[in-house]
Amino acid sequence: MSAHVHTSVSNGTGLILLDRPKALNSLSLEMVRDITAALLAWRDSAEVDAVVIRSSSEKALCAGGDIRFFYDVGRDTPQAGSALLEDFFTEEYALNHLIHFYPKPYIALMDGVVMGGGMGVAQGGPECRIRIVTERTKMAMPEVNIGLFPDVGGSYFLSHAPGQLGNYLGVTGVTINAADALYAGLADYFVPSAELPALLALLETTAGLQLRAAIADFTAPFRRSAGESQLAQQRAAIDRHFAAGSVAAITASLQQDDSAFAQKTLQVMATRSPLMMCVTHELIKRGAALDVADCLRMERALVRRNFEHGEVIEGVRALVIDKDNAPQWRPATLAEVSEEQVLQMFAPVWPAYAHPLRQLA
């Protein structure tokens, strides 16, 4: 195990502790490999009946992938990415698939920031997932802000969100809270952060086979404590505007609405990569017709095209490296994005038999 991932087993429960607090547990390749190794070792082990993943810090479960790493290695070989970059995305997406189909209860404590790759290690499939949020939860798929797209299975779980919520969250990259996460179907239970010590004690002392029922009982008193969902209040507007057939049409629809919600949404979208907003819209549309494995395979090819184009390199430069918050997007405006440019991003990279995620079932 690396210095940033600690694992143990207690009372039939495998415990994964992410411990890279200064980077908000941003995932490195080593961390991806450590989590994968633990889950594979426990998958068929009679000694482990459930898995819990949590953070050593209250600030974040995981803020995503290590975007400084993306910048450093992607800038060196922008046409194809370095071998390490290729390995990172292949192994991260394989981990997302492993989590989605895990045969045992998989419990994610989504306290603090949960974004991008953090969503990938928290959004298990419906048969295994138990996703717990707190009032400190800050959840997002914010990739369009750095010139990327909602990956780590985002094309699947966003496309399966109610109504147009997935389109809204993916195209805008906005951050939501616990109540919104519950409303959007991206979380299952709410626990006040003050009750986390008691919940952790429960997780460490309850037999793994009994954890699902124990968590349901523990969280029952807090069912209405998450507060009102802003997404619920904005749902009619979101469904109306984001049902438009393109990002340009969504923008035109919002421009006809003088509400505070519409104007704020337009302001947010004006800062995002125009190309990646359009790619995200197409990604979510395609993802709705695909299974998890095919969504991840689509995303894996798309991330290669993205680094070839260089949009994410520019986005990370502006946001994290130079911090000028003035990315030079290509194209610079939504009006300049053509359908051909969007479709080119989805062009196959490998023949099916050579795809790095061809083994996913």
Condensed to tens digits (0 to 9), the pLDDT of residues 66-107 reads: 998 888 887 765 444 478 899 999 999 999 999 999 999 999
pLDDT in tens, 121-171: 999 999 999 999 999 999 999 999 999 999 999 999 999 999 999 999 999
Check pLDDT > 50 for residue 301.
yes
Pick the catalytic residue from 14, 65, 166, 315. 65
361 falls within a domain: no
Q: Which residues on neighbouring strands pair with residue 3, listed in sequence order?
A: none
Residue 150: inside a domain: yes
227: tokens are 């507060």
- 250 is a domain residue: yes
Choosing from 74, 117, 118, 147, which is the catalytic residue?
A: 117
Summarize the confidence of residues 256-278 as an average pLDDT.
Answer: 98
Number of other residues whose CB lies within 10 A of the CB of residue 168: 25
Q: Choosing from 151, 180, 299, 314, which is the catalytic residue?
A: 151
Q: How far apart are CA 18 and CA 5, in angstroms?
A: 5
Q: Is 160 within a domain?
A: yes
For residue 175, tell me if it sits in a domain: yes
pTM, rounded to two decimals: 0.96
Query: Is 360 within the bounds of a domain?
Result: no
Residue 2 pLDDT > 80, yes or no?
Answer: no
How far apart, in whole angstroms, are the C-alpha atoms of residue 29 and residue 84? 8
Q: Is 143 a catalytic residue?
A: yes
Residue 340, pLDDT above cutoff 90:
yes
Would 359 be classed as within a structural domain?
no
The domain total for the chain is 1
Judge whether 180 counts as a catalytic residue.
no
Question: Is 31 part of a structural domain of the chain?
Answer: yes
Mean pLDDT of the region 103-117: 98
Task: Name the pLDDT band for 237 (thresholds 50, 70, 90).
Answer: very high
Per-residue confidence (pLDDT) for residue 73, from 0 to 100: 82
Q: Is the confidence at residue 15, as pLDDT, over 80?
A: yes
Going along the chain, which residue ranges are E strands? 5-10, 13-18, 50-55, 60-62, 106-110, 113-115, 129-133, 138-140, 189-190
Q: What's the whole-number average pLDDT of the chain?
A: 96
**CB-based contacts of 187: which residues, under 8 Å, 6+ apart?**
110, 131, 132, 133, 137, 139, 178, 181
**How much of the chain exceeds pLDDT 70, in percent?**
98
State the pLDDT at residue 77. Answer: 54
Average pLDDT value for residue range 339-356: 97
Catalytic option among 92, 143, 180, 299: 143
**CATH code, domain carrying 141:** 3.90.226.10
Nearest CA-CA partner of 286 in 125, 278, 97, 353 = 278
- Our answer to whether residue 118 is catalytic in this structure is no
Q: Quote the domain boundaries for residue 242.
A: 5-354
Contact criterion met (CB below 8 Å) for 306 and 345: yes
Query: Residue 78's pLDDT is what?
Result: 46
Q: Does residue 355 carry a pLDDT above 50?
A: yes
Q: Are residues 52 and 206 in contact, defined by beta-carbon separation less than 8 angstroms?
A: no
Catalytic site includes residue 120? no
